[in-house]
Amino acid sequence: MAQLVVGDLTVELDEDGFLEDYAVWTEDVAHALAATEDVEELTEDHWKMINYLRDYFEQFGVAPMVRKMVKDTGYDQKKIYELFPAGPGKGACKIAGLPKPTGCV
């Protein structure tokens, strides 16, 4: 099992680089995960998407479908891929600390 060291914190990752434990996520962990996804800087737009994903997951226990992300955030699919080049499932959900979405990765 892989690990990611963020300051004094060591977090466990699954074989695809997703957090094993959603609860250990912090903004510092998000920055470290972003670096693994070739996202150099987390902008206000990134945080809007990350916070949306975390809120949705906390409410429903799953990551939203891409169509729902587009509708709720106002970002079109092209914008989401500009923010998260690996895509909404692999990139955005990983950086937000969500478990790996089924069928997306």
2 neighbors 15 (Cβ within 8 angstroms): yes
> How many domains is the chain partitioned into structurally?
1
Answer yes or no: is 24 within a domain. yes
Residue 89: the pLDDT is: 86
pTM: 0.92
pLDDT at 67: 93
Positive/negative CA dihedral, 58, 61, 65, 71? negative
Residue 105 lies in a domain: no
Mean residue pLDDT of the chain comes to 93
Is 55 domain-assigned? yes
* Per-residue model confidence as pLDDT tens digits over 46-63: 999 999 999 999 999 999
Instruction: Give the list of residues 6+ apart from residue 102 with CB closer than 8 angstroms, or none.
Output: none
Domain presence at residue 103: no
93 is catalytic: no
Catalytic position from the list 2, 62, 65, 104: 104
What stretches in the chain show pLDDT beneath 70?
103-105
